[in-house]
Chains A and B, each alone.
Chain A
Amino acid sequence: MRITLRDIRKQYGKVNANDGIDLEITEGSIHGILGENGAGKSTLMKVLAGYTVKTSGKILINGRPAEYDHPSQATRLGIGMLYQDPLDFPPLTVLENFMMGLDRGLVSREEAYRLRLREMADHFGFHLDPDTAVERLTVGERQQLELVRLLALGVEVLILDEPTTGISSLQKQALFSALRKLAREGKTILLVSHKLEDVEALCDRITVLRRGRVEGSMVLPFEGGRLLAWMFGNELAPPPCFERRTEEGAPTLAMEEVSALGGRAGLSPCQVAVRQGEVVGLAGLEGSGQGLFLRLAGGLEKPETGKIRVAEEDMTGKDHHAYRAKGVTFLPAGRLEEGLMPGLTITEHFALQQPKGIVIHWPKAWEMAQQGIGRFRIRGSPHSAAESLSGGNQQRLLLALLPANPLLLLLEHPTRGLDMDSVRWVWEKLMAYAAQGTSIVFSSAELDEIFQMAGRVLVFFNGVVVKNVRTCDTTMEELAKAIAGKG
Chain B
Amino acid sequence: MHLFLENSRPKELLIKVFFIAGGVFCLTSLVLLVAGAPPWPAFYHLFVGALGSWSKLAQVLMVWIPLTLCACGLLYSFRIGLWNIGVEGQVVAGAIASTAVLRFGVESGSPSLMIVMAFAGGILGGSAWAILAGFLKTKGGVNEIFGGLGLNFVAQGITLWLIFGPWKRPGVGSMSGTELFPESLWLPTFLSARLSPAGLVLTVLALVAAAWVLNRTRLGLALKGIGSNPKAAYLHGLNPSTYFILAMGLAGGCAGLAGAFQVTGVYHRLIPVISSNYGYLALLVVMLANYRVWGSPWIAFFFACLNVGSIQLPIVLKLDSSLSGIIQGALVLTTLLVYGLRSAGSRLKLRG
**Chain A residues within CB distance 8 Å of chain B:** 320-321, 324, 330, 332, 337-344, 348-349, 351-354, 356-360, 362, 401
How far is the CB of A345 from the nearest CB of chain B, in Å?
10
- The count of chain B contact residues (Cβ–Cβ below 8 Å) is 22
Q: Do residues B235 and A360 form an inter-chain contact, with CB atoms below 8 A? A: no
B232 interface residue, CB < 8 Å from A? yes
Q: Do residues B228 and A337 form an inter-chain contact, with CB atoms below 8 A? A: no
Q: Do residues A360 and B239 form an inter-chain contact, with CB atoms below 8 A? A: no
Q: Do residues A339 and B234 form an inter-chain contact, with CB atoms below 8 A? A: no
B71 interface residue, CB < 8 Å from A? no
Q: Do residues A341 and B232 form an inter-chain contact, with CB atoms below 8 A? A: yes
How far is the CB of B10 from the nearest CB of chain A, in Å?
19
A341 and B229 contact, Cβ closer than 8 Å, known pairs A320-B234, A321-B237: yes
Q: Do residues B218 and A354 form an inter-chain contact, with CB atoms below 8 A? A: yes
Give Cα A359 to B218, complex, Å: 6
Q: Do residues B225 and A337 form an inter-chain contact, with CB atoms below 8 A? A: no
A339 and B218 contact, Cβ closer than 8 Å, known pairs A344-B228, A352-B225: no
Q: Do residues A352 and B222 form an inter-chain contact, with CB atoms below 8 A? A: yes
Give Cα A357 to B216, complex, Å: 11
Given contacts A359-B218, A360-B218, 4 further A-B pairs with CB under 8 A are A339-B235, A341-B224, A348-B224, A360-B216
A360 and B221 contact, Cβ closer than 8 Å, known pairs A324-B237, A330-B235: yes
Neighbouring A residues of B219 by C-beta, 8 Å? 358
0/1 per residue, B221-243, Cβ < 8 Å to A?
Answer: 11011011101111111110000
Neighbouring A residues of B216 by C-beta, 8 Å? 359-360, 362
Give Cα A351 to B234, complex, Å: 15
Give Cα A92 to B228, complex, Å: 32
How far is the CB of B182 from the nearest CB of chain A, in Å?
41
How far is the CB of B71 from the nearest CB of chain A, in Å?
21
Which of B233, B236, B238, B239 has the most CB atoms of chain A within a 10 A radius of its CB?
B236
A359 and B217 contact, Cβ closer than 8 Å, known pairs A330-B235, A338-B235, A348-B224: yes
Q: Do residues A342 and B229 form an inter-chain contact, with CB atoms below 8 A? A: yes
Judged by DSSP, the binding face of B is helix
Q: Among A320, A340, A351, which residue has its beta carbon within 8 angstroms of that of B232?
A: A340
Q: Do residues A343 and B2 form an inter-chain contact, with CB atoms below 8 A? A: yes
Give Cα A341 to B223, complex, Å: 11
B348 interface residue, CB < 8 Å from A? no
Give Cα A356 to B237, complex, Å: 11
Neighbouring A residues of B232 by C-beta, 8 Å? 338-341
Neighbouring A residues of B218 by C-beta, 8 Å? 351-352, 354, 356-360
23 contacts between A and B (CB under 8 A): A320-B235, A321-B239, A337-B231, A338-B231, A338-B232, A339-B232, A339-B235, A340-B229, A341-B229, A343-B2, A343-B5, A343-B227, A344-B221, A344-B224, A348-B225, A349-B236, A352-B221, A352-B222, A352-B236, A352-B238, A360-B216, A360-B217, A362-B216
Residue of B nearest to A335 (CB): B232
Give Cα A362 to B224, complex, Å: 15
Q: Do residues B234 and A344 form an inter-chain contact, with CB atoms below 8 A? A: no
Q: Do residues B217 and A338 form an inter-chain contact, with CB atoms below 8 A? A: no
A343 and B228 contact, Cβ closer than 8 Å, known pairs A351-B221, A352-B222, A360-B218: yes
How far is the CB of A475 from the nearest CB of chain B, in Å?
36
A342 and B228 contact, Cβ closer than 8 Å, known pairs A352-B221, A358-B217: yes
Give Cα A98 to B233, complex, Å: 41
Q: Do residues B225 and A344 form an inter-chain contact, with CB atoms below 8 A? A: yes
The 6 closest A-B pairs by CB, nearest first: A343-B228, A341-B228, A341-B229, A338-B231, A341-B225, A341-B232
Give Cα A342 to B222, complex, Å: 13
A343 and B221 contact, Cβ closer than 8 Å, known pairs A332-B235, A352-B236: no
Neighbouring A residues of B221 by C-beta, 8 Å? 344, 348, 351-352, 360
Neighbouring B residues of A349 by C-beta, 8 Å? 236
Residue of A nearest to B235 (CB): A330
List residues 28-75 of chain B with CB under 8 A from any CB of chain A.
none
Neighbouring B residues of A353 by C-beta, 8 Å? 236
How far is the CB of A69 from the nearest CB of chain B, in Å?
14
Give Cα A354 to B238, complex, Å: 12
List residues 200-223 of chain B with CB under 8 A from any CB of chain A.
216-219, 221-222
Residue of A nearest to B230 (CB): A341
Q: Do residues B229 and A338 form an inter-chain contact, with CB atoms below 8 A? A: yes
Neighbouring B residues of A351 by C-beta, 8 Å? 218, 221
Give Cα A401 to B235, complex, Å: 11
Neighbouring B residues of A362 by C-beta, 8 Å? 216
How far is the CB of A402 from the nearest CB of chain B, in Å?
11
Neighbouring A residues of B222 by C-beta, 8 Å? 352
Give Cα A344 to B225, complex, Å: 7
How far is the CB of B237 from the nearest CB of chain A, in Å?
6
Give Cα A332 to B231, complex, Å: 10
Residue of B nearest to A298 (CB): B235
Neighbouring B residues of A340 by C-beta, 8 Å? 229, 232
Give Cα A199 to B308, complex, Å: 75
Neighbouring B residues of A338 by C-beta, 8 Å? 229, 231-232, 235
Residue of A nearest to B220 (CB): A360
How far is the CB of A302 from the nearest CB of chain B, in Å?
15
Give Cα A31 to B237, complex, Å: 49
How far is the CB of B245 from the nearest CB of chain A, in Å?
16
How far is the CB of B218 from the nearest CB of chain A, in Å?
6
Give Cα A70 to B5, complex, Å: 34
How far is the CB of B231 from the nearest CB of chain A, in Å?
5
